[in-house]
Amino acid sequence: MDSQKIISFLPYTKPFLFVDEITQISENGVIGNYTFKENEYFYEGHFINNPITPGVILTETMAQIGVVCLGIYLLKDEILSDKKPQIALTSNEIDFFLPVYPSEKVTVISEKVYFRFNKLKCIVKMFNAKNELVCRGSIAGMIIAK
């Protein structure tokens, strides 16, 4: 399954889709990126005159790329048979180190810890364009094809 097909199966649309590209994917992990546009809805009112991407949005970006895209890839045989993925976040623990501003491109690198009984847990890291660690942690979710 190619990266555009994986993105097409995501259960999100703009303005809540935070995946521009998947650059690498395998049974063990995924790498992808997203560029935060200047006009994203969440910048309005979040730190007046100093817009910063909210941590919950950074977490969501890591979850979409690092867990959901990987889960779709792992279930590709079931999903390709016309079943749609259903996703639920079950846990996350994220440490934040640097802010992300409008127009910044981030790269998410995710490594699978385990995938069993339809629960996928990953160690996920986000880097900015300078290859500086923005945040890291673990994210787990349930994914099934129905």
Q: Give the structural domain span for 97.
A: 3-145
Residue by residue, DSSP assigns the chain as: --HHHHHHTSS--TTS---SEEEEEETTEEEEEEE--TT-GGGTTSSTTS----HHHHHHHHHIIIIIIHHHHHTHHHHTTTPPEEEEEEEEEEEE-S---TT-EEEEEEEEEEEETTEEEEEEEEE-TT--EEEEEEEEEEEEE-
Number of domains comprising the chain: 1
Distance CA 47, CA 133 (A): 22
Task: Please give the structure tokens belonging to residue 81.
Answer: 């048979």
The whole-model pTM stands at 0.94
Burial class (CB within 10 angstroms; exposed 0-12, middle 13-18, buried 19+) of 15: exposed
**Residue 144 scores a pLDDT above 90:** no
Of the residues 46, 105, 121, 125, only one is catalytic, namely 46
Banded pLDDT at 80 (limits 50, 70, 90): low
**Residue 103 scores a pLDDT above 90:** yes
Higher pLDDT among residues 38 and 146, named by residue: 38
Q: How many residues does the chain have?
A: 146
Banded pLDDT at 77 (limits 50, 70, 90): confident
Banded pLDDT at 65 (limits 50, 70, 90): very high
Q: Is 46 a catalytic residue?
A: yes
For the ranges 21-30, 56-65, 85-94, the lowest mean pLDDT is seen at 85-94
**Residue 86 scores a pLDDT above 80:** yes
Q: What's the CATH number where 80 sits?
A: 3.10.129.10
Average pLDDT over residues 43-48: 85
